[in-house]
Amino acid sequence: MERLISMKEAAAMLGVGRASLYRLREFDKSMPRAVEISPRRIAFRLSELEAWIASRPVAEKGPGFEKRQELGLKAASSRSNCK
């Protein structure tokens, strides 16, 4: 049986809050579909979510890029903390 993860776990993997995860589900049609566990609870298949994350581009430039360069810091990436 495939491992399912909760909305809270999925949000943590993505580095967003649950409200942002709900918006992603609504507006990003490439995001994996959630599985309804009960009328008020959904989950994601871990393998599908990991594949979707891997398929997403990682932005090298973004807010604060120049400042990070000045300070000699690497680009921020939420993926480095995912297991």
C-alpha closest to that of 30 among 11, 54, 13, 12: 54
Residue 74 lies inside a defined structural domain of this protein: no
The length of the chain in residues reads 83
CA-based end-to-end distance of the chain: 20
Tokens read off for 1: 């049986």
Q: In which domain, by residue range, is 37 found?
A: 1-57
Residue keyed to tokens 């000045």: 70
The domain total for the chain is: 1
* Tens-level pLDDT at each residue, the chain (83 residues): 889 999 999 999 988 899 999 999 999 999 999 999 999 999 999 999 999 988 887 766 666 666 666 666 555 454 444 44
pTM to 2 decimal places: 0.66
Nearest-angstrom CA–CA distance, 83 and 3: 14
| Residue 39's CATH number | 1.10.10
Within-domain flag for 28: yes
